[in-house]
Amino acid sequence: MKQTTIYPSATVANMVCGFDVLGFALEEPCDKMTVRLLNEKTVRVVHHDSYGLPTQPEKNVAGVALQAVLNQVKENIGFEVEITKVIKPGSGIGSSAASAAGAVYGANILLGNIFSKTDLVRLAMFGEEVASGAQHADNIAPCIFGGVTLVRSLHPLDVVEVDFPELQVTVIHPQLEIKTSEARKLLKPEVPLGNAVKQWANVGALVAGLMKHDYELITRSLHDYVAEPVRSALIPRFDELKKHSLEAGALGGGISGSGPSVFMLSKNANTAHRVADAMRKVYNETGVDFHVHVTTINRKGVKEK
Ligand code: HSE
């Protein structure tokens, strides 16, 4: 039976100022997915984890994404996917995007790579929509392309790959669940013009800072006037996490996606570990369980081993 095993990685969406448009892929953690070709037009989903995710294909992120692939092919084929989730659902580091992106990436290998990376992002978005209740590709695009991506437009889909310097990432994951669909409802549909001006200035400057490898410009640009002022209230001790991380030498950071994870960027591994210690110190006083990871940006995208 034709099958492939792939490892889609966690991702950080928004990158502070780029709500719904900027994102980057993390080296770790990654889910494990085995996609198998079937000789009947059907989709089957098997989970080998204890997160209680639905396995009916039409309710499962990977299942919906695989159905979107099947809708594009004429042959009488189908897919079975076995998923071992390592990226905890609701953690804010692109768990649903990894399932959707991994599913379409694996299916594409089995079909002889007939789809481009942009096609795969478009197909995976059908799955992501099941989880977040809205179309956005700021986790899926970096998961598939790797590195840092900017989704300039969804319709038509236009993904821009952004160059970046050496960056280390510290992520704290408080063991709370925030549903993206709920966190999106908190946001006001309109942004005052003054805040919008500051926001797009920062998005432009962040992209320039990344491409010029200008760490000071990156630091000056990591400010959010849209989501963080509302969503940070959902994350215990968010302001302290940020303050102590910056004091420990982080370039900047904020909520990862819709939270509750919080990420910080640093120039080197020593600083990233100091930031991790600072985060632990803040959270040790909260009584909330948490995990802290120090990792880097994954330049490759979905891994094949
Ligand atoms: N851009 C999305 C949001 C990412 O912030 O709602 C969710 O992971």
Query: What would the pLDDT profile of 283-293 be if each residue is shown by its tens digit?
Result: 999 999 999 99
**Domain end position, chosen among 119, 134, 162:** 162
Task: Pick the more confident residue, 305 or 244.
Answer: 244
* pLDDT at residue 216 in the model: 98
For ligand 1, the distance from its centroid to the CA atom of residue 45, given in whole angstroms, is 25
Model confidence, pTM: 0.96
Q: What is the mean pLDDT of the chain?
A: 96
| Rounded CA separation 298/39 (Å) | 35
pLDDT tier at 59, thresholds 50, 70, 90: very high
Residue 304 lies in a domain: no
For ligand 1, the distance from its centroid to the CA atom of residue 1, given in whole angstroms, is 37
For ligand 1, the distance from its centroid to the CA atom of residue 111, given in whole angstroms, is 30
Q: How many structural domains are present in the chain?
A: 2
Determine which residue's CA is closest to atom 8 belonging to ligand 1: 257
Domain containing residue 146: CATH number: 3.30.230.10
Pull the structure tokens for residue 214: 């200008």
Determine which residue's CA is closest to atom 1 belonging to ligand 1: 20
Same domain as 189, residue 271: yes
| Rounded CA separation 163/143 (Å) | 15
User: Does ligand 1 come within 6 angstroms of the Cβ of 258?
Assistant: yes
**Domain end position, chosen among 143, 162, 181:** 162
Entry field: residues in the chain: 305
Same domain as 157, residue 8: yes
Mean pLDDT, rounded, for 110-134: 93
Same domain as 205, residue 282: yes
Q: Please identify every residue annotated as catalytic.
A: 128, 180
Domain that holds residue 182: 168-296
